[in-house]
Structure 1
Amino acid sequence: MLSDHDFLRYSRQIMLPLCGELGIKTLAKARVVVIGAGGLATVVAPYLVGAGVGYLRLCDDDIVSVSNLPRQWLYSPAHIGQQKVRVMAAQLKALQPAAQVEAIPEYADNSNLCRLMSGADLVLDCSDNMTTRQLVNAYAMDAGVALVSAAAIGLHAQAAAFQPSLCGPHGNHGCYRCLYPIDSQRAGNCQSEGVLGPMVGMAGCYQAALALRILLGDPNVPWSQLWRLDSTLGEHQLLRIQPDPSCSVCGHVSHSNASSDDSSIPNSGV
């Protein structure tokens, strides 16, 4: 049974059929790993701890810079020069003292990603480069851990959720590598092309919503479906990510992957 305090705090969520009191208890036991502590994470992480997620592991070696401030709203001028994950952890604890927030000031790569992702019920890719995204996808698929990836650039946003058990030959769903079969960043990124702050927020909000739906066991999660928002036209799409028969991560199936050839899809984050 929830305490009176928790019942009052989460009363709006408890009203949702997807959540209820059992959902609050489920979230309290959830362990989520966040790779990257930039603009996406500053949106995703507060929503997760605010919803009652009990454990959050933040992984990034970056420090706060003045150019981060327009879109990474957890940071202020007073935080410039400090490690992002430590600042974020302190901010999240202030928002929800009951949450356990672990700050790991390390850049995710092949040498540590297995350790950083260990014990996770869900991994959120909030990184800002293709190399990290592909590594996180590969490790998530290998470990059988659900992954939610998001990105924003210019006036565009995107996000998608991946369930390893559904990807490849057994489930006929594509993974992140099926969508982008490249190992390095070929397209522009936020440093070269810029980004409007609210686009980061919109991508992060959708990513957070997917994460909470997954943790609460929503049977209608849109697995391997790319949500794309083009704010210049006021349009959004939901595109199925087909498995790539030559994908080295999720296996070999006989379906083609039309989505990965669409060069208009932004593949860089913030």
Structure 2
Amino acid sequence: MNDDQLLRYSRHILLPEIGVEGQEAILGARVLVVGAGGLGSPAAMYLAAAGVGTLVLCDGDTVDLTNLQRQILHSAEGVGRLKVESGRDTLLRLNPFARVETVAERLEGHALDAQVAAADVVLDCSDNFATRHAINRACVRHCKPLVSGAAIRFDGQVSVFDLRQAESPCYHCLFPEGQEVEEIRCAVMGVFAPLTGIIGATQAAEALKLLVGCGTTLDGRLLLLDGLGMEWRSVTLGRDPGCAVCAGRGEA
């Protein structure tokens, strides 16, 4: 690190759990953020501010006026622009030393596989089950840690699936694909603006802990937030030995 970086990240470096070595790990990391909306906005902003060396921001949508109530990566001037371009400009204003790569499409197939393979940590900030399951399958294939978040109405949830660890569950263990699960969209049900900030910031915190290797992550736990009553609940998750996605992972 140069003198400017030592000063910029000094409050991290002062933490014995992070220090110079941990901050250098952050600076050298590549993090994939899928979704530049309500969750991806605070997550990407905190990751950029914290010094993540390369942020890959993926989203195929454009900024809409209805996004601005909660998607703090974007402003009124950005309405009609690609979210990844609007988001990149915001992140570079926050930290001009950050490298921001943009993918202005819905990641799938070989493109998703390549991006997951290249990442150190993956953040799922998407808003649909098809994308979440596709990201999970790619993370299982490449043994990449996945930080998953969701927010709707006043309810939020966040978990870590550290797929580097043989005993860790995957997203499919918790929400099996094809299961009868109602997919609820913000456009229909609404979402409390600060809720996306709370969950997205929590995703950023978990990603940074994974990069540094400090503390205890949410691996094997699902953290649930009732934003209306402001109550948190933690649920222990176990790996499903019969999981169609991750069964046999880690076996010789």
For the aligned pair, the TM-score class normalised by the smaller chain equals: over 0.9
Query: Structure 1 residue 244 and structure 2 residue 240: aligned?
Result: yes
TM-score (norm 2): 0.93
> What does the per-residue CA deviation read over 1:164-200, in whole Å, with 9 as the maximum and x for residues that have no partner?
133xxx41x3211111113486232212211101110
Of stretches 17-26 and 133-142 in structure 1, the one that deviates more from structure 2 is: 17-26
Q: Report the Cα distance in structure 1 between the residues aligned to 2:128 and 2:227, rounded to whole angstroms.
A: 22
Task: Check whether the contact 2:116–2:144 (CA below 8 A) recurs between aligned residues.
Answer: no
Please identify runs of 4+ aligned residues in structure 1 that moved more than 4 A: none
Contact 1:226–1:238 at 8 Å: present in 2 too?
yes
Instruction: Note the C-alpha offset of 1:25.
Output: 1.0
Q: Distance in 2 between matches of 1:104 and 1:165?
A: 25
TM-score relative to the length of structure 1 = 0.87
Deviation at 1:4, TM superposition (A): 2.2
Distance 1:252 1:104 in 2: 32
SS in structure 1 of the partner of residue 122 of structure 2: strand
- Pick one of 216, 238, 245 that aligns with 1:220: 216
2:170 corresponds to: 175
2:190 is aligned with 1:194: yes
Structure 2 equivalent of residue 208 of structure 1: 204
Provide the residue aligned with 2:73 in structure 1: 74
- Tell me, yes or no, if the aligned pair for 1:153 and 1:196 is still in contact at 8 Å: yes
AA aligned opposite 1:176:
Y
Q: Secondary structure at the match of 1:248?
A: coil
Alpha-carbon distance in 1 for matches of 2:218, 2:34:
22
Shift of 1:53: 0.6
Task: Describe the SS at the equivalent of 1:69.
Answer: helix
CA distance in 2, matches of 1:5, 1:245: 49
Contact 1:175 1:241 in 2 (8 A): no
Aligned length: 248
Q: Secondary structure, in 3 states, of the residue corresponding to 1:118?
A: helix
User: What's the offset of the Cα at 1:233?
Assistant: 2.4
SS in 2 for 1:46: helix
Q: Which runs of 5+ in 2 are unaligned?
A: none
Partner Cα separation in structure 1 for residue 40 and residue 218 of structure 2: 21
Q: CA deviation at 1:234?
A: 2.3
Alignment of 1:1-270 (within 5 A): 2-166=1-165, 170-171=166-167, 173-183=168-178, 186-218=182-214, 220-251=216-247
Kept in 1, the 8 Å contact 2:163–2:169? The answer is no
- RMSD, matched Cα: 1.6
Q: Which moved more, 1:144-153 or 1:239-248?
A: 239-248
8 Å CA contact 2:206, 2:217 repeated in 1? yes
Q: Is the 8 A contact 2:169 2:240 kept in 1?
A: yes
Q: Does the CA-based 8 Å contact 1:59-1:108 persist in structure 2?
A: yes
Corresponding letter in the other structure for 1:221: T
Distance in structure 2 (CA, Å) of the matches to 1:210 and 1:101: 20
Q: CA deviation at 1:252?
A: 6.2
State the one-letter code of the partner of 1:229. Answer: L
Q: Distance in 2 between matches of 1:249 and 1:182?
A: 9
The Cα shift of 1:232 comes to 2.2
Q: Mark the runs of 5 or more structure 1 residues left unpaired by the alignment.
A: 254-270
Contact kept in structure 2, 1:226 and 1:240, CA below 8 Å: yes
Name whichever of 202-211 and 242-251 sits farther off. 242-251
* CA distance 1:124–1:183, change in 2 (3 Å): farther
* Identical columns (%): 39
Cα displacement string for residues 36-94 of structure 1 (whole angstroms, at most 9, x for unaligned residues): 11111110111011111100111111000011000001211111110000111111111
Report the CA distance between 1:247 and its aligned residue: 1.2
- Tell me the alpha carbon deviations over residues 82-126 of structure 1, each in whole angstroms, 9 at most, x when there is no partner: 000011111111111111100110101235211232311111101
SS, match of residue 164 in structure 2: helix
What SS class does the counterpart of residue 53 from structure 1 fall into?
coil
Note the alpha carbon deviations across 1:190-215, whole angstroms, 9 max, x for none.
12211101110110011111001000
